[in-house]
Structure 1
Amino acid sequence: MTDTVVDRFLRYVVIDTQSDPRSPTQPSTEKQKNLGRMLVQELLAIGLSDAHIDEHGYVYATIPSNVDKPVPVICFCSHMDTAPDFTGMNVKPKIVWNYTGGDIQLSGDPQQIIRVSDNPALRDQIGNDIITTDGTTLLGADDKAGLAEIMTAAQFLVDNTDIRHGTIKILFTPDEEIGRGVDKVDLEKLGAQFAYTVDGETAGHIEDETFSADGVEITIQGVAIHPGFAQGKMENAAKIAGAILSRLPKDAAPETTAGREGFVHPTGVTGSMEKAVLSFIIRDFDDAGLAAKEAMLETLVKGVMADYPGSSYTFEVKQQYRNMKAILDRHPQLVENAIEAIRRAGMEPVRGSIRGGTDGSRLSFMGLPCPNIFAGGHAFHSPLEWVSRQDMEKAVKTLVELARIWEGRA
């Protein structure tokens, strides 16, 4: 096999692998296994004889060590699913060869335009080859770019035996986009000491910090009565829910925050006169900030409920994930080695934080410390998604250099 990273990427993105948050199964959609089985066949063809997919849709494989000395076992990880936010069926990737600058109008829906004003990273792509959709679907660079990069790096390491490296594990996960990416992973079978998710954005970036995240569900029990006899008696749960939403602080929302600022974000509301349910996600970079936002939200709810003495509410907090920096700071060599690999691959490293989470967040707290390195994609979860060939090639080189650095520093 002599496939380039672009060959692989174009092959993977046309396979529909959207996950489904409403499904109780693991994986949430069987179609994710279609890509998983393809990846296994390619891994076997490369020469990784233990490659397999399990019943939950996880793909495992091993690149054996080619040195005698002990080297920490590292893992490269990406996810196979694409986000449920926008359709991933019938993806028609397009390539803008030798991009000369300016906005990119997408052929399948002329109203979809990748604007430089919204994508300033395009200014660094002059002369590069930009892969987009036709504007009617997601592209799936999140995270099929990562898959293609890991696969290409794996083949390069197998084919170039002069590159010395320890044992390297490969893990491809389902359902990352719906927060279940590591629910059924078998870390004992994986057998890695450290890992890297290849799921970031701009080339040269490494992220060792995520939000801490909780979900909150508020259930309002109102007072239902026939509207013809409701005076002084009815307490409409749907209206109570609306009152709560109207009092949310405008400066603590996703659309008004950036950098290290957290937020309180309503993600759903259902209701009737009798009962209403409000769903929220709460995000902050430290646990104290998370707790403060939840306390603020419950205080707000209590203030609204005081006007409805016959009604009641429940306030349920569910932990989702925590800032992985608390774990990664105990293992500084993880980020140091990645920074050196990015530098050797010809880029200036940029260390940052993710306003979100990755599989690495949960893996870190499960005992597998795992920062996130770039895959090169941009405008995720939208039909304006794009990635450049050159940035994917830089990611491949970064992974190869990482393997070399871990062996050299062992």
Structure 2
Amino acid sequence: MLNKYKNTVTERFLKYVQIDTQSDPYSDAQPSTEKQKNLSNVLVAELLEMGITDAHLDDSGYVYATIPSNSDKNVPVICFCSHVDTSPDCSGENVKPIIHSNYQGQDIVLPDDNSQIIKLTDHPDLAHQFGNDLITASGTTLLGADNKAGVAEIMDAAYYLINNPEVKHGTIKILFTPDEEIGRGTAAVDLQKLGADFGYTIDGETLGSLEDETFSADGVRISITGVSQHPGFAKGRMESALKIASEIVAKLPKETLSPETTEGKEGFIHPTNILGAVESATIDFIIRDFTVEKLHAHEAVLKAILDDVLNAYPNSKATFEVTEQYRNMKEILDKYPHVTEYAMEAITRSGIEAKCMSIRGGTDGSRLSFMGLPCPNIFAGEHAFHGKHEWVTIQDMEKAVETIVNLCMVWEEKS
């Protein structure tokens, strides 16, 4: 425990989730939505009130702040990072957080939509939460624990460090990013201004987990040009781009290579959007696996499906565009094993079983690692994210705060 510290993480979290910060994948703005800055401005004001004098929000939507070193040692500069945006997959407007005290395994019926029921059988991690205090939304929105739990935990840890100067630490950098949920969380980050040597995103799930490995990720866009004709005179002439697109999706593997049929280290091909008409259509895919070689193999499967379908449409054509999205951060983190080891020790010091895991997804840390800031991902306690059943517990958030503080101490002790 942190010297009988009265945590502020819950109060902060309940406040933050009520600020709509949903990002928009169809916006070209930076950040993609101005409303993300509403939370970022609140965070800057709170950091300044703590006494962190350089806290500021830049024009691109990033919050930067520094907790100065209080150690005589030459301690590497470490950064803690979380993102302020919530997923575009589910509404984040008018979030009504609810605390369910002393959870005992019961079904939780969300009051604004009684069809939304959080059940122990659907959420296995709830088996470890008996006696804890769950926070959910009310049934019509996501909660926003992804990643406002992480934001609140970093803020509470900063508050603790500022108010407990006897806790020795090196220079600590704080970074809050926009647009992580749409893959643009590091698009305009200024790492030179940040000035950190190593980093940690606080954006993980299960209590005690540390993720040092992510998916590698590509996007694929297939753009189809068909042959449009008046439907009354189309026999033997029309080649509908929309039907071609539909056939491609229909031919995707059904027992393998899909999100709904894979787990663990298995990758997938996933269509995320289809748009079109008779003359032209596009299909967007995300391709995921843990190695680039497997990504390329999955892309070859998709390209073969496209070519096979087009064989039946001799007057139509298509382009196949692959875009790199992010890469498995383990490629970088394996070169700096102490970054992961120190985090594991910090988790253990917090009285938790530390678990090093792989994540079937990506974080800002994936990109940051390849940009020169090695950055594994520490648990924030968020669960069932991107949907109306999202939940977190007060106790898990408090343990994340303790882990952050312990990690600052570990770096100082070992320098």
TM-score normalised per structure 1: 0.98
Give the match's secondary structure for 1:21: coil
User: 2:66 touches 2:174 (CA, 8 Å); kept in 1?
Assistant: yes
Matches of 2:208 and 2:347, distance apart in 1: 6
* Distance verdict in 2 for CA 1:124–1:2, change over 3 Å: closer
- Determine which of 367, 370, 374 is the counterpart of 2:375: 370
Give the corresponding residue for 1:6: 10
Give the match's secondary structure for 2:375: coil
- Determine which of 77, 97, 114 is the counterpart of 1:110: 114
Matches of 1:183 and 1:59, distance apart in 2: 14
After superposition, what is the alpha-carbon deviation per residue over 1:94-152, rounded to whole angstroms, capped at 9, x for unaligned?
11111122211111111111111111111111111111111111111001100110011
Matches of 1:213 and 1:8, distance apart in 2: 33
TM-fit CA distance, 1:2: 7.2
2:168 pairs with 1:164: yes
After superposition, what is the alpha-carbon deviation per residue over 1:196-251, rounded to whole angstroms, capped at 9, x for unaligned?
00000011000011111111111111122222332222211111111111111111
After superposition, what is the alpha-carbon deviation per residue over 1:170-212, rounded to whole angstroms, capped at 9, x for unaligned?
0000111111111011100000000000000011000011111
5+ residue gaps, structure 2: none
After superposition, what is the alpha-carbon deviation per residue over 1:264-322, rounded to whole angstroms, capped at 9, x for unaligned?
00111112111111111101100000000111111111111111111111111011111
Give the corresponding residue for 1:81: 85
Give the corresponding residue for 2:356: 351
What is the correspondence of 1:55-204 to structure 2 with a 5 Å cutoff? 55-204=59-208
TM-fit CA distance, 1:3: 6.2
- Determine which of 203, 222, 229 is the counterpart of 1:225: 229
User: 2:81 touches 2:200 (CA, 8 Å); kept in 1?
Assistant: yes
* Distance verdict in 2 for CA 1:3–1:38, change over 3 Å: farther
Give the corresponding residue for 1:335: 340
Matches of 1:277 and 1:217, distance apart in 2: 7
2:215 pairs with 1:211: yes
What is the correspondence of 1:15-94 to structure 2 with a 5 Å cutoff? 15-94=19-98
* Distance verdict in 2 for CA 1:2–1:339, change over 3 Å: closer
Give the match's secondary structure for 1:95: strand
Matches of 1:236 and 1:18, distance apart in 2: 35
2:283 pairs with 1:278: yes
Matches of 2:187 and 2:80, distance apart in 1: 18
Give the match's secondary structure for 1:252: coil
Give the corresponding residue for 2:312: 307
Identity of aligned residues (%): 63
* Distance verdict in 2 for CA 1:210–1:50, change over 3 Å: same
After superposition, what is the alpha-carbon deviation per residue over 1:341-376, rounded to whole angstroms, capped at 9, x for unaligned?
000001001111111110000000100010000000
- Determine which of 374, 389, 398 is the counterpart of 2:394: 389
- Determine which of 255, 264, 267 is the counterpart of 1:259: 264
Matches of 2:93 and 2:278, distance apart in 1: 38
Matches of 2:217 and 2:7, distance apart in 1: 39
Give the corresponding residue for 2:241: 237
5+ residue gaps, structure 1: none
- Matched pairs, number: 410
Matches of 2:242 and 2:15, distance apart in 1: 47
Matches of 2:93 and 2:208, distance apart in 1: 30
Matches of 1:232 and 1:33, distance apart in 2: 55
2:384 pairs with 1:379: yes
Matches of 1:268 and 1:10, distance apart in 2: 33
Matches of 2:248 and 2:125, distance apart in 1: 39
Give the match's secondary structure for 1:195: strand
TM-fit CA distance, 1:156: 0.8
Matches of 2:236 and 2:115, distance apart in 1: 51
Matches of 1:211 and 1:117, distance apart in 2: 27
- More displaced 10-residue stretch of structure 1: 222-231 or 358-367: 222-231
TM-fit CA distance, 1:30: 0.9
Matches of 1:35 and 1:245, distance apart in 2: 39
Q: Tell me which stretches of 4 or more aligned residues in structure 1 moved more than 3 Å.
A: none
User: 2:154 touches 2:401 (CA, 8 Å); kept in 1?
Assistant: yes
Matches of 1:158 and 1:56, distance apart in 2: 27
